[in-house]
Structure 1
Amino acid sequence: MSDDKSKTSELSRRGFIKVGAAALTAANMPMFFMKDAWAAKDFRNNPGNAGTVKFGFNVPQTGAYADEGADELRAYKLAVKHINGEGDGGMLNTMKPLTLKGNGILGKKLEYVTGDTQTKSDAARASAKRMIEKDGVVMITGGSSSGVAVAVQGLCQEMGVVFMAGLTHSNDTTGKDKRRYGFRHFFNAYMSGAALGPVLKQEMGTDRKAYHLTADYTWGWTQEESIKNTTEALGWKTTAAVRTPVGAGDFSQYITPVLNSGADVLILNHYGKDMINSLTQAVQFGLRDKQVNGKNFEIVVPLFSRLMAQGAGENIKGILGTTNWNWSLQD
């Protein structure tokens, strides 16, 4: 009798171990695409047997970063053509090995809807929410403003939809404000600072005084922090760091104090039209023609794009900064 009880006890123990292990495995499985009432085998806006699947392209079509938004949107539309196999295949014919088959996504034709973030976080969230609830998108992409990217990424996390950040340079996007459903490909402010350090040392030396004008939101803050960490490690001193509103347009009131600050370098932590305007106005104020502390006055733009360089025209020549990879750049 005692042997039977012993066997039963052992079987129960083994059974418990098996059941417990299964429960533990299930508990630790990634709940990908799950949100609130959505079943474990389903995900938000699952197209099911439909022949199409939909993405949301949420970009600034108005506001200070509208030029970057228009560029993003052109690229997204071209990507849809590649994925759907429209035309002659274009770039697809040059890519080997190739995962894309030109038959959509898992055989479903890709469709898309667009939204205007207005370079404002609240407007971007409202646009993304409409895409998810009304249009039934399974993925949202966009950005240009890191504040927008962080806001939309948080919404997508709440609603169980993937967010693929198109353009976001703040350290916080995948740092302090990271979310499980959020992904980025763009380099961050820390990388810009690290890349610029050796170049600034070579071109400007280790005895400099820097004056920062900084866009007053998450990207500007982390860009300023990253560049300060780099320059101060070189031996530079930070004379002042002044926050400026996004979309200010006229930066005269912020540039005037630089003239008598004792700084010999102006660092513009601005982007989009704001960078074009602040750089143009700094040049008009004669900063690049000045000599301070026995040195030629310099301007640094930690992050700029091809569009910003075009907008700034002659004023961008000789300005050090970082940019995303571009096939036309030799350096």
Structure 2
Amino acid sequence: MALRQKAAAFAASVTLTLMLTVVPAKAQLSDGVVRIGILNDQSGPYQDLAGPGSVVAAQLAAEDFGGKVAGGKIEIVSADHQNKPDVGAAIARRWFDEQAVDAIADVPTSSVAIAVQGVAREKHRIFLISGGSVTDLSGKYCSPYGIQTADDTYAYTSGTARAVVQNGGKTWFLLVADYAAGHAVEAQARAAIEKAGGQVVGSVRHPQGTADFAAYLLQAEASGAQVIGLGNYGNDTINSIKQSIEFGLTAKGRKLVSFGMFISDVHALGLKNAAGLQFAEGFYWNQNDATRAFAKRFEARTGKMPTRQQATTYATVVHYLKSIAATGTDAAEPVMARMRGTTMAYFGQDGRFRPDGRLVRDDYLWEVKTPAESTAPWDYYKLVRVIPASEAWLPIEESACPLLTKP
């Protein structure tokens, strides 16, 4: 039997097993409250792309249900994991053991997300991975209690790399962050570039929170590469782009490509510095009526437009709450079976879950507008192409998720 058929058969058996779990005859919540923990960077380099904004996004999701589901109150709690796996794991354990948190959502910084995935698996609690981006979260670290809805490293690396190579960017230098997501971007970008007919002529890793990129940019310039691919996030992305421009690399014809751009980064850079940058991401506030409706609510609360991570946290929490409403319980097994077994509404798309927990839907390649092209505040992106779901995500045949190997 082919791997795809085995995966489908196993998914069906897992779903049946979870659905056969005893569910109370009456709607029942474990303590009368559905408690969701938003765990992210609240004070460091990623606070703008997730941070307090993701908490607001989850609160907006709860408000969609009137603050109640299955007869119980919805409560949103939050904490700062400080981008440290041990801190994140400790918070997750305390939430599950002492504070009756039913599910954790968001969790940028993939090393922290991997640690939280382990705790959630051990405790049989739900992990809504709307922030952690390393593909391994639905690969070798997959869990029957986790779903990954965040744009992952494969999606925002491979599509972008292929398009740039096809448009003439043949030689690359990769500048990536020295942690799990950065390592994944480096490997996946290299594979995509070479498969498309390009060449990686050099690469270097930098620590999280780097202030001075001079030494790394000198290496990139000396390589002679046409394209400098940036596999970093938040303030690191902003600083590396600003310093590349200050060093004159773009004036000398080098093209900058980001594998982790957020609208908060474009806003911080300004269109003068960011114009022409291309990147893949699944959400843009001005994309359609559904994105604009959510963005209007979010802006009214925060004064900003939502990033894709904040929007994904909203959509994922809504899907979780819908599943509780449908099953009448907050027990992890029936709720997870419902979430995986139904499509998830994602701002005009209906995404589906694979047996490894990965949400699949179309993705998009964007380019940042020039100042002359922008006609309103936050009018930053123009669409280059739709990346169909069949191309956007790691093929399931290549997934290392242990769940797929079971009979």
Question: What TM-score do you get using the length of structure 1 for normalisation?
Answer: 0.75
User: Partner amino acid for 2:265?
Assistant: M
SS in 1 for 2:208: coil
State the secondary structure of the residue aligned to 1:308: helix
* Comparing 195-204 and 137-146, the one that deviates more: 195-204
Q: Distance in 1 between matches of 2:105 and 2:275?
A: 33
Q: Does 1:195 align with 2:159?
A: yes
The one-letter amino acid paired with 1:279 is I
Indicate which of 132, 140, 146 corresponds to 1:176: 140
Q: Which residue in the other structure is 2:262 paired with?
A: 305
Decide whether the 8 Å contact of 1:215 with 1:245 is kept in 2: yes
- Give me the whole-angstrom Cα distance separating, in 2, the residues matched to 1:121 and 1:311: 27
Match of 1:57 in 2: 38
Change over 3 Å in CA distance of 1:139–1:27 after alignment to 2: closer
Aligned to 1:74: 56
Are the equivalent residues in 1 in contact too, given 2:55–2:76 (CA < 8 A)? no
Q: How many residues were matched structurally?
A: 271
Whole-angstrom distance in 2 between the partners of 1:243 and 1:157: 31
Supply the distance in 2 between the matched residues of 1:242 and 1:211 (Cα, whole angstroms): 8
State the distance in 2 between where 1:112 and 1:201 align: 44
* Cα offset, 1:194, TM superposition: 3.6
Secondary structure of the 1:282 match is helix
**1:62-104 Cα shifts (integer Å, max 9, x gaps):** 2221112232122112112222x16xxxxxxxxxxxxxxxxx2
1:322 alignment partner, one of 254, 274, 280: 280
Alignment of 1:150-169 (within 5 A): 150-169=114-133
Distance, in Å, in 1 between the alignment partners of 2:40 and 2:204 is: 28
Aligned partners of 1:186, 1:29: CA distance in 2, in Å?
26
**Distance change >3 Å, CA 318–CA 29, structure 1 → 2:** closer
Which segments of structure 1 move beyond 6 Å, counting only runs of 4 or more?
Answer: 26-29
Give the aligned partner of residue 175 of structure 2: 213
Query: Matched residues in 2 for 1:116 and 1:184: separation?
Result: 20
CA distance in 1, matches of 2:123, 2:159: 37
- Counterparts of 1:75-114 in structure 2, within 5 Å, are 75-83=57-65, 85=66, 104-114=68-78
* Partner Cα distance (1:27, 1:111) in 2: 29
Unmatched segments (≥5 aa) in structure 2: 1-12, 288-381, 384-407
Cα distance in 2 between the residues matched to 1:28 and 1:224: 35
For residue 149 of structure 2, what is the amino acid of its counterpart?
H
Alpha-carbon displacement from aligned partner over 1:25-65 (angstroms, at most 9, x marks no partner): x9997469x9xxxxx779xxx844x4422111112102221
- Preserved contact between residue 113 and residue 135 of structure 1 (Cα < 8 Å): no
**Mapping of 1:233-252 within 5 angstroms?**
233-252=195-214
Find the aligned partners of 2:167 and 2:119 in 1 and give their Cα distance: 44
Separation in 1, partners of 2:266, 2:168:
22
Bigger radius of gyration among the two: 1
Asked if 2 retains the 8 angstrom alpha-carbon contact of 1:305 and 1:324, the reply is no
Matching residue within 91, 94, 102 for 1:127:
91
2:189 to 218, 227, 235: 227
Q: 1:28 to 1:171 in 2, by over 3 A?
A: closer
What displacement does 1:175 show? 0.8
Instruction: Report the alpha carbon displacement of residue 327 of structure 1 after superposing the two structures with TM.
Output: 3.5
Deviations 1:190-218 (A, max 9, x none): 2223422452134335xx22111111122
Work out the CA distance in 2 between the residues paired with 1:256 and 1:122: 35
Does structure 2 conserve the Cα–Cα contact (< 8 Å) formed by 1:53 and 1:111?
Answer: yes
Provide the C-alpha distance between the structure 1 equivalents of 2:228 and 2:78, rounded to a whole number of angstroms. Answer: 37
Map 1:2-81 onto structure 2 (within 5 A): 30=17, 47-48=29-30, 50-68=31-49, 69-81=51-63
Q: Deviations over 1:211-238 (max 9, x none)?
A: 1111112211121222211211222221
State the 1:168 CA deviation: 2.3
Distance 1:280 1:185 in 2: 30
User: 1:303 offset after TM fit, Å?
Assistant: 2.3
Give the corresponding residue for 2:346. Answer: none
Residue aligned with 1:173, SS: helix
Q: How many angstroms apart in 1 are the aligned matches of 2:160 and 2:145?
A: 31
SS, match of residue 281 in structure 1 = helix
Report the AA paired with residue 309 of structure 1.
V
Cα contact 2:29–2:70 (8 A) shared by 1:
no
CA distance in 1, matches of 2:34, 2:196: 51
Q: Structure 1 residues 198, 263: CA separation in 2 closer, same or farther (over 3 Å shift)? A: closer
Indicate the larger mover: 159-168 or 229-238. Answer: 229-238
Residue aligning to 1:262: 224
Counterpart in 1 of 2:329? none
Q: 1:211 to 1:201 in 2, by over 3 A?
A: closer
CA distance in 1, matches of 2:73, 2:122: 27
* SS at 1:58 equivalent: strand
Q: Percent identity?
A: 29
Gaps of 5+ in 1: 1-25, 35-39, 87-103, 291-295
Q: In the alignment, residue 38 of structure 2 is paired with which amino acid?
A: F
CA distance in 2, matches of 1:170, 1:28: 25
Shift of residue 169 of structure 1? 2.0
